[in-house]
Chain A
Amino acid sequence: MNALTQADAEHLIYSEALYLDQRRWEDWLELYTEDAVYWVPAWKNESERTASPDSEISLIYYEGRSSLMDRIWRLKSGLSVASTPLRRTAHLVTNVLVGSEGDVATAAFAVHHFDPKRRTQHVFFGRYEYEFRRSERSWRIARKTTILANDQIPTVADFYLL
């Protein structure tokens, strides 16, 4: 089995950004393995983020794709005023670097988002850390950690804004 290449990593990471911006939720979900871990740590102080999700608070921590399906359901349900209307996003992802050990990569992100209801905008930014796993013909995301650098959250944060 071939190791992860730079081109593999970029294709997957940029696809994720595109699917989120285009609200292709099912395509986005397909990028994740069944048992994927989706994690956005919180911060303990100015420089340390939480490292142990079972004994420390995270902004988001999910084990398994079903929780991501829950989040998609919520966005589409019409039952969440914070998600109605959805914010428009542009995921800018850069500095993709494949790690030397294992099928891992990191990237820098800036997600610009605009709230069409209040005509306001904000940028969440930070770094993604990925672990990939090869399944049949394609690579999938087995673990994604989103390190949110600006964790002062203006009213709403959600997976599609990160």
Chain B
Amino acid sequence: MPATEKIFAVPRSDPGTIKRSELSALIDDRPGERVFRVNRRVFTDPTIFDLEMKHIFEGGWVFLGLHSQIPQPHDFFTTNIGRVPVIVTRDGGGEFRVFVNSCPHKGARICQLQQGNAKVHVCPYHSWSFDSAGRNKAIKGRAGGHYGDAFDQESHDLYALPRIGDYRGFLFGSLNADVPSLDDYLGEARRLLDLIVDQSASGLELVPGAVTFTYEANWKLQLENCSDQYHFSSVHPSYLKLLDRRAESQWMGTTRNMWDPNRRHDEAHGAATGGSYNLANGHVLNWRMPDAPDALPLYEQKDALAERVGEAKRDWMFFSRNLTIFPNVQFAENASSQLRIIRPLSVDRTEMRTFCMAPIGESAEARRLRIRQYEDFFNPSGLATPDDAVVYEACQEGYASSGSPWLQGYSRGICGKVDGGNDFSRAIGLAPEQSITGDRTLGDETIFHAYYRAWRQRLADALPEDAPVREGVA
């Protein structure tokens, strides 16, 4: 038997293909037996990566950016949906539109800039031009071009995305027309996006300055890590100890420690101070109470927020929260606020585009604190994110092991997870599919189940049925 045969639970298909049953079997999900395991192959197989691009990133809703990035008519920014370049713009009437950034003539990328304002986009190759509503305005030398009727009858406009949506300024698009409404796709995650937007009556903005980094590992490492409370004290001790050092030396710096151990609440052992929620469609939230909410830039709005949104929602805004909208956007709010867009480049290479989010109209002092704490924690040149990215690469390297394909990192919390919500979620009208709470040692890993259940369903549904699909027993 070839050495690779023993790696997998089922025999492998030919290279470049995978059967539905084979793909489904890579997620060992047996709720009744409290087993959840993920096969390393999901992080390493280029065939699976191609399926992810086609059926997840290019086959459904993905996050594009914020309304506040294109406030005026003809404003645009460029980004990607999976491997496809797109222009996100506002037409002359101010309407939000998204086009594939590729000329119908020879396919060249038309708009070369990251952002700007343009009434007309001209292809650099043969000068075909398009207005901000995507309509073809001119074909160079058309009169003398000896075109036939068939050409004249064809549309020469830019290819518009079949589905776009704007939830409270969060812009999404889908290259696949056959998707649920954006409201249905986001579902309960809308309540959690509300917690971000409602921090200011004027909404949300990105602080100028974008930071991009890459790492040599699979995109799902980033997906998981954002939701992984268990790693925090292991990967970031240098960051945590530096915050302590600064406090001890009465450091007159520009950051504060929201995890100040001296201010830890008098918690009863096991008292719930955090937890996680699994929502439909692969969206998740993990949350944790801060030790020192007054270290947060938002704290200055304590009373105003209570009045405007109510105390329950206000208190939730002070919780440290990491929200993922599957598959490509994460909102991390702790000492500062980060928007992360995940762009998979290949099975073992990922690009992260990161931005500091901020409530519009906060004080200059709060903004400064937010920015300094952001740079410290979130930048790839800071005190924490480089340690995460290096660990992703360590995982990718370790995935080469074929002796024991099943990863065990999906088990913490498995006997504590319950269906439905709890008092914390009910306080803000959130109805998750599953929830768990615990003390600081919880480090829940069942949160990842939501990712892989959505992942498996999206991919398995796209593959032709070859045999009865293995399902969980619940």
Q: Do A and B come from one complex?
A: yes
**Known contacts A81-B235, A82-B387, A157-B386; is-contact A59 B245 (Cβ 8 Å):** no
Selected contact of B375 from candidates A57, A66, A80, A156, CB within 8 Å: A57
Stretch at the interface among B158-166, B203-211, B410-418: B203-211
A137 contacts the other chain (CB 8 A): no
B interface footprint on A49-67 (CB within 8 Å = 1, 0 otherwise): 0100111111111011011
A53 — which chain B residues lie within 8 A by C-beta?
371
B364 contacts the other chain (CB 8 A): yes
A152 contacts the other chain (CB 8 A): yes
B391 — which chain A residues lie within 8 A by C-beta?
81
Most buried by B among A61, A67, A77, A155: A155
Interface size of A by Cβ–Cβ distance < 8 Å? 41
Selected contact of B241 from candidates A61, A67, A77, CB within 8 Å: A77
Binding site for B on A (CB under 8 A): 40-46, 50, 53-61, 63-64, 66-67, 70-71, 73-74, 77, 79-83, 118, 151-158, 162
Selected contact of A79 from candidates B241, B249, B254, B374, CB within 8 Å: B241
A interface footprint on B387-422 (CB within 8 Å = 1, 0 otherwise): 101110110000000000000000000000000000
Stretch at the interface among B135-143, B187-195, B282-290, B377-385: B377-385
Stretch at the interface among B37-45, B171-179, B212-220, B317-325: B212-220
Binding site for A on B (CB under 8 A): 113-115, 207-216, 235, 237-238, 241-242, 245-246, 249, 251-254, 355-356, 364, 367-368, 371-372, 374-375, 379-383, 386-387, 389-391, 393-394
CA distance A37 to B58 in the complex (A): 45
Q: CB-nearest residue of chain A relative to B382? A: A60
B382 — which chain A residues lie within 8 A by C-beta?
60
Shortest CB–CB separation between residue B380 and chain A, in angstroms?
4
Q: Once the chains bind, are B374 and A57 in contact (CB under 8 Å)?
A: yes
Q: CB-nearest residue of chain A relative to B213? A: A153
Q: CB-nearest residue of chain A relative to B116? A: A45
Q: CB-nearest residue of chain A relative to B379? A: A59
B114 — which chain A residues lie within 8 A by C-beta?
45-46
CA distance A55 to B364 in the complex (A): 8
Chain B at the A interface: SS class: mixed
B387 — which chain A residues lie within 8 A by C-beta?
80-82
**Known contacts A55-B364, A70-B242, A81-B235; is-contact A43 B386 (Cβ 8 Å):** no
Q: Once the chains bind, are B213 and A60 in contact (CB under 8 Å)?
A: no
CA distance A135 to B371 in the complex (A): 32
**Known contacts A80-B387, A81-B235, A156-B380; is-contact A57 B113 (Cβ 8 Å):** no
A158 — which chain B residues lie within 8 A by C-beta?
381, 386
Q: Once the chains bind, are A56 and B209 in contact (CB under 8 Å)?
A: yes
CA distance A81 to B386 in the complex (A): 8
Q: CB-nearest residue of chain B relative to A156? A: B386
Q: Once the chains bind, are B383 and A74 in contact (CB under 8 Å)?
A: yes
21 contacts between A and B (CB under 8 A): A43-B210, A50-B209, A54-B371, A56-B209, A57-B356, A59-B211, A59-B375, A61-B371, A64-B252, A67-B253, A70-B245, A70-B246, A73-B242, A77-B238, A79-B241, A81-B387, A152-B214, A153-B212, A154-B214, A156-B380, A162-B381
Q: Once the chains bind, are B207 and A156 in contact (CB under 8 Å)?
A: no
Q: Once the chains bind, are B215 and A50 in contact (CB under 8 Å)?
A: no
CA distance A80 to B374 in the complex (A): 18
Interchain residue pairs A-B with the least CB separation, the first 10? A57-B209, A82-B386, A42-B209, A157-B381, A79-B238, A153-B213, A80-B238, A156-B386, A50-B209, A79-B237
CA distance A65 to B7 in the complex (A): 53
Shortest CB–CB separation between residue A112 and chain B, in angstroms?
18
B394 — which chain A residues lie within 8 A by C-beta?
81
Q: CB-nearest residue of chain B relative to A40? A: B381
Q: CB-nearest residue of chain B relative to A157? A: B381
A57 — which chain B residues lie within 8 A by C-beta?
207-211, 355-356, 371, 374-375, 379
Shortest CB–CB separation between residue B273 and chain A, in angstroms?
24
CA distance A72 to B386 in the complex (A): 15
Selected contact of B210 from candidates A42, A71, A74, A154, CB within 8 Å: A42
Q: Once the chains bind, are B209 and A73 in contact (CB under 8 Å)?
A: no
CA distance A75 to B238 in the complex (A): 9
Selected contact of B390 from candidates A55, A66, A155, CB within 8 Å: A155
Selected contact of B214 from candidates A67, A73, A118, A155, CB within 8 Å: A155
**Known contacts A45-B113, A61-B372; is-contact A155 B386 (Cβ 8 Å):** yes
A42 — which chain B residues lie within 8 A by C-beta?
209-211
- 10 more A-B residue pairs beyond the given contacts A57-B210, A82-B390, with a C-beta to C-beta distance below 8 A: A45-B113, A45-B115, A46-B113, A50-B208, A57-B356, A59-B375, A63-B254, A79-B241, A83-B238, A155-B216
A54 — which chain B residues lie within 8 A by C-beta?
364, 367-368, 371
A43 — which chain B residues lie within 8 A by C-beta?
209-210
CA distance A64 to B371 in the complex (A): 17
Q: Once the chains bind, are A155 and B207 in contact (CB under 8 Å)?
A: no
CA distance A76 to B461 in the complex (A): 50
